[in-house]
């Protein structure tokens, strides 16, 4: 199953979730109304019941009350769900903090946390997404992790202290790769919606328990009896809702864990890491259970079973089944042996790293600046969001190749901001002066003085390192605050539009940065956007393909042929003549946001057409390949760092 199929599946599951939620809400409303009716029925005297015409007459006589109860129940569920969804608008970081997570800073020197950051950064580069916020759950001795957020741009990865302590680097890579598969395939957005919707169903039980607690010690027990009875009904109904909520979570998430394990193997091209982590969960006393009181809410998004549910409610497949899917010859009795072995001396991840010889990837030679990349349409489609083991190794090599001075700058938010702006500075002195004037006007004198200093670090930077530097820099700008990020976004727009002579790659880099800032500030905005068909975006697609054909070919004649071939690949029924994209910045400004809303099947066709537009002359330069990656990253179809 490729990226586009997984995206489509996540959308189907979203619709299925809404249907299941609607059924659960309907059942909850009926249960509340039925409970109140039964209270009225058993509380009525025989003569009163006879006067209204028996049980049916009682229902008709009290129809207004029952209707108010039904509407009130709906209102409580809706209000609670909307409240919870609103509280999660902060994206993945809000979920991680609600679970007691502590953010890991970019400049941490703690060996375990530094190893965690290295692994996350390498996988982010390998999958061409911004480095997510990283959190550690300090009070959790079990081995577990989760990814939360609405989109890759606002994702957060949280790892338990037990995972940091007991997993070696290989196993930690497997766990993080598993979580990245949720980041890339649309599972996170479904998970966070599930949290919001189920909170509404569970709210009735919480309200009932709270009211019952407040009235239990009251003096006027006779007058409190109706309130106590209603509270008991709400509690019962609430736990009925909990029953259905757990069933929904199990139905939505169980199969996805098998798929995420398989995706983790695609990332690292080995099964030992992910299987080893699962074995340690089974062999250590703490297992994967979490101790936080809010574990119920996030149980469906954890790497391992955090609640210890029975098979009916289990959000994860049985542990031995997950291991056997990775290692078919695995004997479940092996877990008994590991429990006995580790009861005496639990494994220590850093010590295992030393014994196994794991280390940070070394700096391998970068591709020649003038080398061509042999692209094939089907191969590129297969690589979207599914980097291979070789891609992972290259990502580690690219990260190791980034100069130490740039790495130091990336650890400080203000310097990372200056580096981002430096990536957009024009080579022409006059235009550069205008850009720095814009920086001074929007961010102040200190920023205007810092940008040229950081720009000096980028002199001679290999083109293959440009996008990794950008991806690493997008993390620290989260710490600039809302106002700081808004100012940075305005500054980026000003630098891009100083004049119309910016190179396309510089424009695309700035566009990706602006998009990331938008994701940071409004993480849930895209989750509400309606998807479009490719045919509905034909003009926007034609504009993008025309720009790519124009950029990737030397003459207008060859660019026209490349454009027509690409247009036929994406929209065979459309006839739109090629026009030299004179005002390409404006055309892309208008086209890309609309193309980002295309459904998964349409994006696959568009990606195939983009590759046709660039490769029509059978030559793809490193810069063209990086341009393709940047546009794909904006369209949320991430490609690995070195294309094949």
Are 474 and 513 a contacting pair, CB within 8 Å? yes
The residue out of 475, 497, 517 marking a domain boundary is 517
* Same domain assignment for residues 154 and 118: yes
The CATH number of residue 120's host domain is: 3.30.2010.10
Asked whether residue 644 is domain-assigned, the answer is no
On whether both 216 and 289 belong to a single domain, the answer is no
The number of beta carbons lying within 10 Å of the beta carbon of residue 572 is 9
Q: How far apart are CA 404 and CA 382, in angstroms?
A: 34
Total structural domains in the chain? 4
Mapping DSSP onto H, E and C, the string for 557-591 reads: HHHHHHHHHHHHHHCCCCCCCCCCCCCHHHHHHHH
Query: Nearest-CA neighbor of 185 among 468, 392, 384?
Result: 384
501 found inside a domain: yes
Closest CA to 455 of 479, 441, 439, 471: 439
Task: Residue 34: name the closest of 75, 66, 63, 76 by CA.
Answer: 66
Do residues 194 and 17 touch, judged by C-beta distance below 8 A? yes
Q: How far is it, in rounded angstroms, from Cα 156 to Cα 173? A: 16
Question: Cβ-count burial of 428 within 10 angstroms (0-12 exposed, 13-18 middle, 19+ buried)?
Answer: exposed
Same domain, yes or no: 124 and 84: no
148 strand-pairing partners: 156
What's the N-to-C CA distance of the chain in angstroms? 20
Is 643 a domain residue?
no
Predicted local distance difference test score (pLDDT) of residue 120: 92
What tokens does 11 get? 């959308």
| Helix or strand holding residue 102 (H, E) | strand 102-103
Q: Coil, strand or helix: which one is 103?
A: strand
For residue 126, what pLDDT is reported? 82
pLDDT of residue 307: 67
Alpha-carbon distance of 448 to 528, in angstroms, equals: 37
Tell me phi and psi for residue 482, to 5 degrees.
-60, -50
- In a 13 Å sphere around the CA of 96, the CA atoms on its Cβ side amount to 29
Nearest of 440, 432, 427 to residue 505 by alpha carbon:
427
Same-domain status, 38 and 171: no
CA dihedral for 6, 12, 17, 20, sign (positive or negative): negative
- Alpha-carbon gap, residue 7 to 9, rounded angstroms: 5
- Residues with pLDDT less than 70, the chain: 1-15, 17, 186-187, 205-206, 208-230, 238, 242, 249-270, 293-294, 307-315, 359-378, 385-389, 499-502, 524-529, 641-644
Q: Render 141-167 in DSSP notation, one character per residue.
A: -S--EEEE-SSGGG-EEEEEHHHHHH-
pLDDT score recorded for residue 133: 92
- Asked whether residue 366 is assigned to any structural domain, the reply reads no
Question: Quick one: tokens of 623?
Answer: 């810069």
Residues 6+ apart with CB under 8 A from 51: none
Is 452 among the domain residues? yes
Residue 175 covered by a domain: yes
Cβ neighbours for 411, distance < 8 A, ≥ 6 positions apart: 105, 106, 107, 476
Concerning whether 179 is annotated as a catalytic residue, the answer is yes
What DSSP element (H or E) covers 538? helix 538-552
The single residue listed with the structure tokens 């297992």 is 287
Same domain? For 200 and 182 the reply is no
The per-residue pLDDT for 367 is 65
Same domain as 102, residue 63: no
Same domain for 412 and 554:
no
What's the confidence (pLDDT) of residue 14?
A: 62
pLDDT for the residue 110? 92
Reading the block at residue 39, the tokens are: 């209270």
Same domain, 199 and 108: no
Q: Which of 459, 483, 517 finishes a domain?
A: 517
Contact 34, 240 (CB under 8 A): no
Which of 494, 517, 540 marks a domain boundary? 517
Tell whether 642 is covered by a domain: no
Smallest CA-to-CA distance from 37 within 19, 20, 59 is with 59
Tell whether 295 is covered by a domain: yes
**Residue 339 CB contacts under 8 Å (≥ 6 apart), including other chains:** 282, 283, 284, 285
**Domain of residue 63, residue span:** 3-92+192-237
Q: Are residues 311 and 346 in the same domain?
A: yes
Query: Which residues of 154-233 form beta strands (DSSP E)?
Result: 156-160
Are 88 and 105 part of one and the same domain? Answer: no
264 and 171, same structural domain? yes
Q: What kind and span of H or E run contains 268? A: helix 221-268
Q: Write down the pLDDT at residue 298.
A: 77
Helix (H) or strand (E) holding 137: strand 133-137
**Same structural domain, 507 and 622:** no
Catalytic residue (one of 121, 171, 179, 624):
179
């Amino acid at each position: 199953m490729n990226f586009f199929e997984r995206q489509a599946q996540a959308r189907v599951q979203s619709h299925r979730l809404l249907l299941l939620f609607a059924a659960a809400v309907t059942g909850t409303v009926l249960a509340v109304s039925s409970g109140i009716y039964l209270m009225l029925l058993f509380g009525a005297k025989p003569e009163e019941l006879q006067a209204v015409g028996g049980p049916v007459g009682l229902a008709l006589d009290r129809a207004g009350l029952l209707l108010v109860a039904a509407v009130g129940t709906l209102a409580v569920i809706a209000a609670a769900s909307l409240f919870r969804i609103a509280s999660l608008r902060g994206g993945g970081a809000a979920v991680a903090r609600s679970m007691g997570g502590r953010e890991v800073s970019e400049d941490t020197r703690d060996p375990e946390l530094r190893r965690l950051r290295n692994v996350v950064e390498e996988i982010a580069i390998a999958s061409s997404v911004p480095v997510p916020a990283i959190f550690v759950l300090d009070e959790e001795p079990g081995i577990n992790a989760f990814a939360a957020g609405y989109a890759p741009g606002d994702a957060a990865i949280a790892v338990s202290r037990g995972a940091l302590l007991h997993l070696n680097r290989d196993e930690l890579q497997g766990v993080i790769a598993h979580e990245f598969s949720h980041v890339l395939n649309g599972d996170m957005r479904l998970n966070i919606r599930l949290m919001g919707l189920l909170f509404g169903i569970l709210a009735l039980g919480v309200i009932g328990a709270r009211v019952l607690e407040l009235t239990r010690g009251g003096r006027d027990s006779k007058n409190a009896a109706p309130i106590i009875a209603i509270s008991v009904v709400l509690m019962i109904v609430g736990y009925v809702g909990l029953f259905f909520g757990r069933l929904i979570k199990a139905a939505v998430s169980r199969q996805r864990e098998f798929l995420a394990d398989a995706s983790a193997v695609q990332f690292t091209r080995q099964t030992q890491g992910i299987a080893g982590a699962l074995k340690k969960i089974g062999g250590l006393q703490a297992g994967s259970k979490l101790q936080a009181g809010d574990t119920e809410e996030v149980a469906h998004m954890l790497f391992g079973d955090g609640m210890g549910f029975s098979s009916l409610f289990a959000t994860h497949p049985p542990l031995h089944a997950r291991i056997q899917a990775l290692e078919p010859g695995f004997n479940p009795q092996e877990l008994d042996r590991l429990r006995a072995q580790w009861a005496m001396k639990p494994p220590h991840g850093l010590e295992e790293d030393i014994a196994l010889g794991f280390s940070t990837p070394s700096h391998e030679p970068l591709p020649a600046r003038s080398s061509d990349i042999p692209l094939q349409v089907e191969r590129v489609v297969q690589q979207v969001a599914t980097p291979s083991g070789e891609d992972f190794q290259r990502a580690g090599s690219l990260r190791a190749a980034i100069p130490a001075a740039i790495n130091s700058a990336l650890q400080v938010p203000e310097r990372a901001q200056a580096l981002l702006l430096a990536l957009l500075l024009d080579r022409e002195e006059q235009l550069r002066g205008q850009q720095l004037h814009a920086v001074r006007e929007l961010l102040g004198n200190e920023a205007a003085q810092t940008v040229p200093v950081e720009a000096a670090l980028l002199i001679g930077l290999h083109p293959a390192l440009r996008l990794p530097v950008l991806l690493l820099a997008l993390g620290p700008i989260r710490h600039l605050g809302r106002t700081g990020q808004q100012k940075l976004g305005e500054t980026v727009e000003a630098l891009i539009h100083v004049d119309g002579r910016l190179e396309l790659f510089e424009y695309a880099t700035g566009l990706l940065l602006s998009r990331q800032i938008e994701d940071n500030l409004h993480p849930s905005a895209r989750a509400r956007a309606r998807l479009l068909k490719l045919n509905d975006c034909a003009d926007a697609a034609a504009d993008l393909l025309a720009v790519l054909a124009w950029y990737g070919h030397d003459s207008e004649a060859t660019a026209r042929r490349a454009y027509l071939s690409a247009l036929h690949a994406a929209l065979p029924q459309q006839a739109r003549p090629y026009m030299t994209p004179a005002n390409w910045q404006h055309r892309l400004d208008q086209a890309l946001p609309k193309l980002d809303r295309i459904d998964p099947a349409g994006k696959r066709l568009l990606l195939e057409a983009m590759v046709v537009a660039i490769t029509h002359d059978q030559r793809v330069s490193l810069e063209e390949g990086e341009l393709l990656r940047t546009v794909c990253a904006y369209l949320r179809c991430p490609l690995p760092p070195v294309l094949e």
